[in-house]
Amino acid sequence: MTLVMGILNVTPDSFSDGGRWASTDAAIAHALELTAQGADVIDVGGESTRPGAARVTPADEQSRVVPVITELARLGVVVSVDTLNSSTALAAAAAGATIINDVSGGLADPAMASVAAGTGLTYIAMHWRGHAQEMDALADYGNVVTDVRDELATRVAELEAAGVSRDKIVLDPGLGFSKRSWHNWQLLAHLDAFDELGLPVMVGASRKRFLAELTGADAPVAARDLPTAVISVLAAQAGAWAVRVHDVVTTRRALAVLERVDSARMDP
């Protein structure tokens, strides 16, 4: 069954929710709401990775996420930390996070692989070519599907060489990161290409820019939740380990339809 990862941005500059959950109390309350709505995991991030976003220091990032992770873990919530920084990943692990979600796949911080190996946490390695300020200029591919697959295979080899257990690695094709709009659709159309890597895959399409083609550029970002839910179903059909979403309710309903159809197919 595909897991639903609820996004919790503890940042003042998120593209999708604009700092609504930037305070510790608001973030914890929203995380509990997402959990009640059906999120299996809460992904807590303290640094925006939207195109053009400014970097924050690890100290500032940790001041945002560690208190939230500590309380959620105390309450029994499964927590992932969304970070590029090894020191933040280590602090989050100490606070009770059980998953490291690194959008750079270990490329942004050379010490990340050793932290992933040392903590033994599940490690999500996303396809990445550069930081937010430069990512759009790096969207140059011969064949985006094979290029992303091969670059992820290289990351896996390097992570394993650094001591990260293969059974702890999850891959993310990195929709929206150094990808032009059509690249994202091509990756979604060929998720099965990642099967040959033999590792679980997470899909994170939620509210991303390429979905504005379907809703209109002037529509609020929440209008992208329905297309996101459809993509979640397609990802689940392709065998995705998890989908990462802002709107848990719509995605859960969409996945419930798929589950009913699959059940009916098994028991005509």
Structure tokens at 265: 């197919």
Q: How far lies 136's CA from each of 108, 154, 209, in Å?
A: 17, 22, 12
Q: Would residue 244 show up in a list of annotated catalytic residues for this protein?
A: yes
217-to-49, 210, 211, 213 alpha-carbon distances in Å: 20, 10, 9, 7
Contact call for residues 229 and 253 (beta carbons, < 8 A): yes
Q: Which two tokens stand for residue 208?
A: 């991303």
What are phi and psi for residue 82, nearest 5 degrees?
-95, 100
- H/E stretch holding 157 reads helix 144-161
- 3-class DSSP state for residue 201? strand
Q: Which of 208, 252, 253, 260 is catalytic?
A: 208
Per-residue CA distances from 176 to 182, 208, 255 (Å): 10, 7, 23
Question: Count of residues for the chain?
Answer: 268
The count of C-alpha atoms lying within 13 angstroms of the C-alpha of 97, restricted to the half-sphere facing its C-beta, is 30
Name the residues annotated as catalytic. 208, 244
